[in-house]
Amino acid sequence: MNEYMLILRHQDGKKIASPEQMQIWMKQTMDWIGSIAAQGKFVEGNGLLFDDSKVVWHQGVVTDGPFGEIKETIGGYMVVKAGSVEEAAEFAKGCPVLQGEGNSVEVRLMAKNDGTH
């Protein structure tokens, strides 16, 4: 069994959603995580806040927030256990973030630090 990281990418992090919409997404996200956890495949995960963030560039240039120059922002991540990258991708398909056009979930195999990677 491998561990994969699902990286949740938003096309436009600045978009403001209504509180009702936020609540619906929140429930969908919790049910999605719960579904993976109910299969015993959840390892860890967290959301990344858009507020209070910086981007540090080459030669020490610092800008506010992940927005501006880059259009895409990372909204959160989750680590899952899966037998194959296909299985991990199946988990990713349920992610509510994908309801937004242009959003994506990147699935990456995590290094095991056991000398093979």
Report in angstroms how near the CB of residue 37 gets to another protein at its nearest: 4
**23 contributes a contact to another protein by CB under 8 A:** no
**37 contributes a contact to another protein by CB under 8 A:** yes
Contact letters for another protein, residues 56-95 (x by CB under 8 A) = ----------------------------------------
If phi over 0 gives left and psi between -120 and 50 gives alpha, with beta otherwise, what is residue 60? left
**106 contributes a contact to another protein by CB under 8 A:** no
Report in angstroms how near the CB of residue 90 gets to another protein at its nearest: 9
Tokens of 45: 């995960």
The CA-atom distances, in angstroms, between 23 and each of 9, 28, 31, 107 are 19, 9, 12, 26
Report in angstroms how near the CB of residue 113 gets to another protein at its nearest: 23
**33 contributes a contact to another protein by CB under 8 A:** yes
Q: Tell me, what DSSP letter sits at residue 59?
A: G
